[in-house]
């Protein structure tokens, strides 16, 4: 019986395989170059730790250990591809390649900037609220899809590790894979996605303290092959806690979009999120009013369940752009649960609402002044 397993599980199992010479595990040594799963096969791309060759007994022993570790997961036939290590070009570059100087990064540079995480991303936009349940993830997912439909290259990073919902909203048809030691994000509806939802069995929970959350945010930014993106949309968990702070510290966010329902209670809590972003020098790009009104699908009667226009009024009072209103609508719910975001179809009123928010957001981004990067010498 073949189990459905995850590349991450394979990586985890491989951490048990140690290089006898250094005593370190082969994942930490960077010997695992890739894991692919499919067609009843688990393929592992390996590179031998330097002095060992495949033909030696030590090499054979290592291969056996890898085979056993992967086979124990019962994910299918195990295939191991051994790649030759790249020619020893590193040796020629002298002291810079000494142990500790990782990838010849700026670490050795006394006052230089740290290596930028996700360097190919032009703009990083956080979608946040104070209160939970106002539709942040729905707005973030549809916004990402609407931007992709407008021809932009878009990524969506779901930092809500406690309640990851992006894989459900966009339909998890693909899974992340490991390529050259980094995560290749799956693409759904033209959007590159990463979410804790991919790494967690359905009924498991993330019960973590701050440092683990911080690490996750760093990995989502730095260890994912985002490539060149016009926009990286970040879906945040509710509140003003560890994840929000980590994100604002690790990424120089271009700006934040605040989602709120129209009633006073939600707006009061949203103002806390706004205060946090202002304290951390992240510009507020605008406010989206979700669940703005409800139109009865039977009789067409419109009812303002949470009141109406509260977010627009609040945005105007605080001097932020109002990006648009999204109705409380049965179709948005059903399509979201089916993994087909309504923004895919710009002809429907629901899809149009999200497309308009995306257009308004791009207009705000164009207006927003690009903060000069601080020079450190």
Partner 1 sequence: MVPAPKKVTLAGENKSVVVSWSDGHRSLYPYAYLREKCPCATCTDAHGTGSRPTARPAAAPGALPMYEDPLKPVKAEAVGRYALSITWSDGHATGIYSFDYLRGLCPCGECGEKAQG
Q: Which residues bind partner 1 (CB under 8 A)?
A: 110-111, 113-114, 248-253, 278-282, 371-377
Output the six-digit token pair for 244. Answer: 């929000």
**DSSP 8-state assignment for residue 371:** P
Q: How far is the CB of 72 from partner 1 (least distance, A)?
A: 41
Output the six-digit token pair for 87. Answer: 């020619």
Radius of gyration of the chain (CA): 23
Between 298 and 377, name the residue whose CB sits nearer to partner 1.
377
Between 50 and 112, name the residue whose CB sits nearer to partner 1.
112
Q: Residues near 56 by Cβ (< 8 Å), separated by ≥ 6?
A: none
Q: How far is the CB of 369 from partner 1 (least distance, A)?
A: 11
Q: How far is the CB of 216 from partner 1 (least distance, A)?
A: 17
CA distance to 155, 284, 292, per residue, from 121 (Å): 9, 19, 32
Between 39 and 373, name the residue whose CB sits nearer to partner 1.
373
Between 204 and 377, name the residue whose CB sits nearer to partner 1.
377
Output the six-digit token pair for 346. Answer: 């710009």
Q: How far is the CB of 193 from partner 1 (least distance, A)?
A: 23
Between 193 and 221, name the residue whose CB sits nearer to partner 1.
221
In this structure, the dihedral spanned by the alpha carbons of residues 210, 227, 164 and 131, taken in order and rounded to 10 degrees, is: 70
In this structure, the dihedral spanned by the alpha carbons of residues 49, 53, 56 and 59, taken in order and rounded to 10 degrees, is: 40
Q: How far is the CB of 181 from partner 1 (least distance, A)?
A: 24
Q: How far is the CB of 281 from partner 1 (least distance, A)?
A: 4
CB 176 within 8 A of CB 35: no
Between 320 and 354, name the residue whose CB sits nearer to partner 1.
320
In this structure, the dihedral spanned by the alpha carbons of residues 60, 61, 63 and 67, taken in order and rounded to 10 degrees, is: 130
């Amino acid at each position: 019986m073949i189990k459905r397993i995850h590349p991450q599980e394979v990586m985890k199992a491989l951490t048990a395989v140690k290089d006898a010479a250094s005593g370190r595990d082969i994942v930490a040594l960077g010997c695992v170059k890739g894991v692919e799963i499919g067609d009843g096969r688990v393929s592992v791309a390996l590179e031998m730790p330097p002095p060992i060759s495949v033909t030696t007994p030590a090499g054979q022993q290592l291969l056996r250990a890898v085979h056993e570790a992967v086979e124990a997961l019962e994910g299918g036939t195990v295939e191991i591809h051994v790649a030759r290590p790249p020619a020893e070009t590193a040796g020629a570059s002298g002291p810079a390649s000494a142990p500790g100087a990782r990838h010849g990064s700026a670490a050795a540079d006394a006052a230089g900037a740290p290596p930028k995480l996700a360097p190919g991303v032009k703009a990083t936009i956080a979608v946040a609220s104070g209160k939970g349940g106002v539709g942040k993830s729905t707005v973030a997912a549809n916004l990402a899809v609407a931007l992709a439909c407008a021809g932009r290259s878009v990524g969506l990073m779901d930092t809500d590790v406690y309640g990851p919902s992006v894989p459900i909203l966009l339909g998890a048809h693909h899974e992340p894979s490991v390529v050259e030691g980094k995560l290749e994000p799956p693409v759904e509806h033209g959007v590159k996605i990463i979410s804790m939802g991919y790494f967690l069995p359905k009924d498991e929970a993330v019960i973590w303290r701050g440092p683990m959350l911080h690490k996750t945010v760093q990995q989502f930014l730095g260890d994912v092959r985002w490539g060149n993106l016009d926009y990286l949309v970040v879906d945040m968990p509710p509140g003003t806690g560890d994840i929000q702070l980590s994100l604002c510290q690790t990424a120089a966010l271009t700006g934040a979009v605040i989602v709120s329902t129209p009633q006073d209670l939600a707006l009061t809590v949203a103002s806390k999120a706004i205060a946090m972003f202002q304290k951390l020098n992240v510009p507020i790009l605008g406010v989206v009013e979700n669940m703005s009104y409800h139109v009865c699908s039977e009789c067409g009667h419109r009812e303002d369940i949470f009141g109406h226009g509260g977010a627009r009024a609040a945005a105007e009072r605080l001097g932020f752009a109002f990006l648009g209103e999204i109705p409380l609508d049965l179709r948005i719910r059903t399509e979201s649960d089916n993994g087909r975001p309504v923004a895919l179809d710009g002809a429907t009123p629901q899809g149009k609402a999200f497309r308009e928010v995306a257009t308004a957001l791009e207009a705000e981004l164009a207006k927003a002044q690009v903060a000069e990067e601080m020079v450190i010498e």
